[in-house]
Structure 1
């Protein structure tokens, strides 16, 4: 689960690996530039053309192309986040816009429920079937308070809504207990789906995220967001602002609210969202939002404070729109440094 970082030094004459792509070696342009300067007989337009071609082939002109038309230049050094592990991806191009310790394997808390929703929907069980709230095989729920009463009943669709929208743990457990083969088969299906999606550093032991042994990486969770986006019901239920749930046997009603306050902010266009928190994970957010007419996946893990992950989402948006972001509070910065130090001690920060 934990891997060692391997660093390579690259010179101007060695191929530089970028993901799965390799750039061929190129000769430096500097030796050729004096020749152009000394050739006074060369016509200005021709000299400019040759110089432009040399700069294009050597890559020296790349900084001039960094800023996209109509968008602020995005310098990752100008984006400060409270998250100890993060990844931001433009899904229209699959371009990684920002990454900080994206391959660190860490607890992901209730972000696990995105996979719970996918496995539930893949089973194609009737969504209008009324199912009981069962938790007996989810030992992590023992002693955990919930307003949802054990053995009360509600439709599978509403159970799924409560799990995604308000991160209701008993609802997530009920989906697993009412799955063909029960809780154990459900968890096995979660891990099988993770492998199918290429989430090679992800592992689940239960459906709620209460266990610190539910682990993943920011990079893997971008893959999970991409998969969740393909399910219209996940898009709908995860972004529901609030809901009154009506249970049966006994009959009672409870009001629930989305754990991500940004879904109630009209300035945001959010397609998929899931928050999470346990002490071992810190505050976390996986979200797919449209910023500047393009879909952007944000995975923000291991933040301090109840709203630090929400603040980080706003910082990412500000950085994408203006090229800069607001500073992180001192307490959140200190917490982040402690978590990164823990990653280093575990051999996961490089």
Structure 2
């Protein structure tokens, strides 16, 4: 073998070079519909892309990741195999909210947690808070205490579902939240479960539930934890941890217009990292983003 070929083979066999990441594409090439966005390399803490990363805004059902963390911190007094009845009496935001989960029906706490994370069922999230060992008010206090512990200094929670626009955070804080979520094997697993038939009792019945993030049902993504959200004041939201181009990434997308624009943004980020092509945004979504951006700049919220 010629000397230069032998040298190349030896270099490629070195662990650091064999796993070397591709150069980062130009952030200016990335086109997103989300008003607020953050892409962070979790191995290096490098911000690969940011738009309004410190804007404090409503986060809708992304709230349920924090709800799940508080539930999992309480397992000594509230085990996962305990059967609990659906009760939303203490969550005022649940009035007149549709759900496939019947009031009074029973599930084990683990399946209630699955419904909150996978299917974003609001009654499931409210029920978990209702059955917290310290009571509902203590649950909300624990959510805020947990946020403080994680370093989410610009986050605030007033209820467990995300139906209140007073549940707020920032893209930077949410990157910490999804990273912490992915570190918990059970939370991560439940958040990316594609689909499950849930067996209720009182009365006994079975219903199929699906993940609100269609990306977890695809074979071409390596998603490690995920949560979607929607509220009029928050727009379409998505946060996920995934491996792309040998990078472990936190992707945060907030206030996106259109039912699938947040999913489209995630796909654009992936294509941008893989090819450098930042894609294109539908004109209506782009117009919405630009209009929202102007409002935020005028109010001083966009940072």
With normalisation by structure 1, the TM-score equals 0.79
CA distance in 2, matches of 1:259, 1:146: 14
The structure 1 residue matched to 2:124, chosen from 161, 171, 179, is 171
Q: Residue 98 of structure 1 aligns with which residue? A: 49
Secondary structure in 1 matching 2:88 = coil
Q: Please list every run of 5 or more consecutive structure 1 residues that lacks an aligned counterpart in the other structure.
A: 1-67
The structure 1 residue matched to 2:33, chosen from 82, 88, 94, is 82
Contact 1:72 1:322 in 2 (8 A): no
Cα shift readout 1:242-290 (whole Å, capped 9, x = no counterpart): 0111111111111100000000110001100000001000000000011
Contact 1:133 1:174 in 2 (8 A): yes
The structure that has the greater radius of gyration is 1
Q: Residue 273 of structure 1 aligns with which residue? A: 226
Contact 1:133 1:170 in 2 (8 A): yes
Aligned pair 1:182/2:135, yes or no? yes
Q: Residue 5 of structure 2 aligns with which residue? A: none
Runs of 4+ in 1 over 2 A off after TM superposition: none
Secondary structure in 2 matching 1:245 = strand
Q: Residue 117 of structure 1 aligns with which residue? A: 68
Q: Residue 191 of structure 2 aligns with which residue? A: 238
RMSD: 1.2
Contact 1:72 1:323 in 2 (8 A): no
Aligned pairs, number: 283
Contact 2:229 2:238 in 1 (8 A): yes
Q: CA deviation at 1:75?
A: 0.8
CA distance in 1, matches of 2:283, 2:148: 39
Of the two structures, which has the highest relative contact order with CA contacts closer than 8 Å and spacing of 6 or more? Answer: 2
With normalisation by structure 2, the TM-score equals 0.91
Q: CA deviation at 1:183?
A: 1.4
Q: CA deviation at 1:70?
A: 5.6
CA distance in 2, matches of 1:100, 1:265: 27
Q: Residue 104 of structure 2 aligns with which residue? A: 151
Change (3 A) 1:270 1:70: closer
CA distance in 2, matches of 1:217, 1:289: 19
Equivalent residue runs for 1:291-310 within 5 Å: 291-310=244-263
CA distance in 2, matches of 1:344, 1:70: 35
Q: Residue 127 of structure 1 aligns with which residue? A: 80
Q: Residue 240 of structure 2 aligns with which residue? A: 287
Contact 2:36 2:51 in 1 (8 A): yes
